[in-house]
């Protein structure tokens, strides 16, 4: 959710004052214009095939309006980071090799978030579809353990 993989940083003024207005303009004049959205996971080819037949994934290409909404959400989240509730825990799981989301953006967001409980779990040799890639059991175990620890700490505080 940080931003699409690029050298842009959602916290930069260029993102807010240049890319967001351009995306807004394009989405207003051609909201249904399509950009190809075929998955291209070179590391795990079977994920591409899985996406082709996934009944929950939209088979259409990506519309400009969707891209605009993603950029707008990224800018909004980054602009409002200081207003996040302090008692909501955050766990970031991100791959260094993510072909969709900007790895540095996640690290930056994690560092800026001022919450009581936050963790960053970095994964090597994975792509954006972390839960569908080989070795995902370790990642899912990390997430489950993290949630279990939260629940145990909540019960101890009561």
Domain ranges of the chain: 13-157
Q: Would you say the C-alpha torsion 65, 67, 70, 73 has a positive or negative sign? A: negative
What per-residue confidence (pLDDT) applies to 138?
Answer: 87
Give pLDDT tens digits for 29-64: 887 887 766 556 565 665 666 666 666 666 667 777
Strands 62-63 and 90-95: unpaired
- pLDDT over 70 at 82, yes or no: yes
Residue-wise burial string across 106-122, b where 16 or more C-beta atoms lie within 10 A, e elsewhere:
bebbbeebeeeeeeeee
Name the residue with higher pLDDT: 5 or 104.
104
How far is 98 from 154, CA to CA, in rounded Å? Answer: 33
- What pTM was computed for the model? 0.70
Query: Stretch 2-8: mean pLDDT, rounded?
Result: 45
- Residue 14 banded pLDDT, cuts 50, 70, 90: confident
- pLDDT over 90 at 1, yes or no: no
- pLDDT over 60 at 77, yes or no: yes
What per-residue confidence (pLDDT) applies to 6?
Answer: 46
Lowest mean pLDDT among 40-44, 78-82, 105-109, 145-149: 40-44
**CATH of the domain spanning 13-157, picked from 3.30.930.10, 3.40.50.1820, 3.10.129.10, 3.40.50.300:** 3.40.50.1820
What per-residue confidence (pLDDT) applies to 91?
Answer: 94
């Amino acid at each position: 959710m940080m931003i699409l993989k690029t050298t842009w940083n959602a916290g930069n003024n260029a993102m807010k004052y240049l890319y967001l207005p351009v995306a807004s303009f394009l989405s207003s004049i051609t909201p249904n214009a399509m950009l190809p959205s075929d998955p291209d996971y070179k590391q795990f080819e079977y994920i591409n095939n899985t996406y082709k037949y996934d009944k929950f994934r939209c088979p259409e290409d990506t519309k400009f309006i969707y891209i605009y909404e993603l950029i707008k959400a990224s800018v909004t989240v980054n602009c409002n980071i200081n207003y996040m509730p302090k008692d909501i825990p955050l766990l970031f799981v991100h791959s260094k090799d993510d072909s969709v989301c900007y790895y540095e953006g996640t690290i930056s967001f994690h560092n800026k978030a001022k919450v009581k409980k936050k963790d960053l779990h970095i994964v090597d040799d994975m792509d954006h579809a972390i839960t569908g890639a080989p070795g995902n059991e370790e990642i899912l175990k990390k997430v489950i353990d993290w949630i279990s620890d939260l629940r145990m700490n909540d019960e101890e505080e009561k």
